[in-house]
Chain A
Amino acid sequence: MLLTCRLLTQFETVEPGQFVHVDTGPERTFRRPFSVAGVTPAGEVELLIELRGGGTRALAELPVGASLTMMGPLGRGFTLVDARAAGAPSRAAESDPRAAGAAPRAAGAAPRAAVVAGGIGVAGVRLLAQRLFESGVDTSLFVGARTADALLDATLPEPDAVRVATDDGSRGFHGTVCDLFTAESVDLPGNTTVYGCGPRAMLDALAVVAGERGMACELSLEEMMACGVGACRGCVVSTVDGYRTVCKDGPVFNASVLVPEGSAMEVAGG
């Protein structure tokens, strides 16, 4: 479902990957975080919403013209590669110890981007893909879902350019979007920045592939949130620097700092 929201107070700027925290009614204690999936020329905010539970259903049932309360834009978004910065490694790559000295970067070649999204993760990269296209970055798009019906590739800019994967093989590549990316990214140069959003297992797998190819990688994470502003420490994930909040330190993290879920490196509880 695409929800278009006209704001009473316009957002000054929105970084791709930032989110809004939406009040879905008094029945639910927490707001629901949604990636800003788009900004219309009139400054309206677009949210791409998957119906999951009571909160999202309440939004789906709103009549056109209903009022909503939301906070935003919140959190840290993606670092956009700069098409003009030929030969310059992205900021993400510089701070990535695993990528340093890996695949040699094509000197003088403009940085490229690969956007990989699983399921409703498309919502987290839709604005990013749009900005990348607008800035002229050579961008490859990969989208996966369980079935053809669940694919959200059509919501992206230039949907014809999207390569799709389904778990059941009902459309496109038969397998996960990470498998598709692995198969098709062999020829991408090392100065490609990989951007991912989707289920955590998919992102952890994507980080491994990007790391092996020496590619910088940024991932947008999702966790249940309470405050949305870094106060309550409820939405933390494990990083090499300890627990960090998805709402304030993220939702976008450099893949090199994330500790894969379920790995032995996860911070021991206090």
Chain B
Amino acid sequence: MVDLSITVAGLKLATPLMLASGTVGYGPEYDGLIDFTRVGAIVTKTVTPRPRAGNTPPRLAETRGGMLNSIGLENVGLDGFLSEKLAEAGRLPTLVIASVAGETPDEFASLCEAVGERGETAGLELNVSCPNVKRARRPLWADPDGVAAVVTAARRATDKPLFLKLSPNAADVRSVAEAGEAAGADALVVANTLPGMRIDVTTRAPMLGNRFGGLSGPALLPVNLALVWKLSDSVGIPIVGSGGIERTEDALEYMMAGASAFQVGTALFRSPSVVDQIVDGLAKHAVTDGINCLSGYTGAAKEVETPCQRTRAD
């Protein structure tokens, strides 16, 4: 029996499979559809200081190889999250990582303090990369100083592990990642969706009420995979790969590029059983490859030294 557990940012995950923020709600929505004991952690829907209604519908469009969403961080707000949703998520047999987003470093700090002191919270994901929220200035995700200020404030507010979720849409993602690491992030999530749009040629109108949305699904995989490869050379903290994973081999690509764990999101929509398929597949691959710890795959495509070496004699 292969040990599928993995340690990331001080958290021991039952498997390296995490469920991505925004796709799994607060968790209980998928109770009975997913075996949460096989999920390393769920990342809850991003919570903001106050409730948000979200963007004007339509909010979804299908694309070849993926989808666009323009949800716009619809959520119950911090009070509703603390009074109801977090406890519900905490009853699931998996770790809960709470995704938070504020408009200022102080707001991020307040969210991290309030959510971080709760026992249900295993860690926090700092969402500095939602493409569906308008900002007056340069977007936060492309601003190393802005991200550093957010992480610094969050770091002061909580001792819980901080996962910094980056955007693939910054010209210089490396500078953002390095700024986040220097400011005290424990891990990077690489990465969020890419901005995109579609137009209905019959109505001659954008398909999304918000015009633009975030592209996710298999079309995004090569983009975020390349980012994982590049960033794992320049930061020392663990990387959680995310973007278009729908099969075991997709997850392995991310791990071999340098990720310690990975997130699955869009693939849940077509098939909640993707969790079992990927985790079963990882176990099979590990046996075939003679690997007794999945961290043995991390960076394997770069032939770097990893804590768990191949055990097979050949």
Chain B 35-89 interface residues, beta-carbon cutoff 8 Å to A:
45, 52-63, 65-67, 69, 71-74
**1/0 per residue A28-67: CB within 8 Å of B?**
1111000000000000000000000000000000000000
Q: Is the CB of B270 within 8 A of A31?
A: yes
B29 within 8 A of A: yes
Which listed residue (B30, B57, B69) contacts A229, Cβ 8 A?
A: B30
A-B contact count (CB 8 A): 103
A201 to chain B, nearest CB (A): 13
Please, which residues of chain A bring their CB within 8 A of the CB of B52?
270
Q: Is the CB of A29 within 8 A of B58?
A: no
* Residue from A26, A224, A226, A227 with most neighbouring chain B CB atoms (10 Å): A226
Which listed residue (A28, A30, A231) contacts B29, Cβ 8 A?
A: A231
A238 and B54 alpha carbons, distance in the complex (Å): 11
Q: Is the CB of A270 within 8 A of B60?
A: no
A228 and B30 alpha carbons, distance in the complex (Å): 10
Asked if A30 meets B62 with Cβ closer than 8 Å, knowing A232-B69, A243-B74, the reply is yes
Q: Is the CB of A270 within 8 A of B33?
A: no
Which listed residue (A71, A234, A238, A243) contacts B69, Cβ 8 A?
A: A234
Q: Is the CB of B53 within 8 A of A267?
A: yes
Please, which residues of chain B bring their CB within 8 A of the CB of A226?
60, 67, 69, 266, 269
Which listed residue (B61, B217, B269) contacts A232, Cβ 8 A?
A: B269
Q: Is the CB of A234 within 8 A of B71?
A: yes
Please, which residues of chain B bring their CB within 8 A of the CB of A248?
29
Q: Is the CB of B69 within 8 A of A270?
A: no
Q: Is the CB of A233 within 8 A of B54?
A: yes
- Measured as residues with beta carbon below 8 angstroms from the partner, the interface class of chain B is 35 or more
Q: Is the CB of B72 within 8 A of A269?
A: yes
B105 within 8 A of A: no
Please, which residues of chain B bring their CB within 8 A of the CB of A28?
62, 270
A238 and B271 alpha carbons, distance in the complex (Å): 28
Q: Is the CB of B74 within 8 A of A270?
A: yes
Interfacial residues, chain B to chain A (CB-CB below 8 A):
22-25, 29-30, 33, 45, 52-63, 65-67, 69, 71-74, 209-210, 217, 266, 268-272
Interfacial residues, chain A to chain B (CB-CB below 8 A):
23, 26, 28-31, 69, 71, 223-238, 242-243, 248, 266-270
- Kindly list 18 other residue pairs between chains A and B, CB separation below 8 angstroms, not including A231-B24, A243-B53, A270-B72: A29-B270, A30-B67, A69-B271, A224-B58, A225-B60, A226-B60, A227-B29, A231-B25, A233-B45, A235-B57, A235-B59, A235-B60, A236-B57, A236-B74, A243-B54, A243-B74, A267-B53, A270-B74
19 interchain pairs (CB within 8 A)?
A23-B270, A28-B62, A30-B67, A71-B272, A226-B67, A227-B25, A229-B29, A229-B30, A230-B25, A231-B25, A233-B45, A234-B69, A235-B59, A236-B54, A236-B57, A242-B53, A243-B54, A268-B56, A270-B73
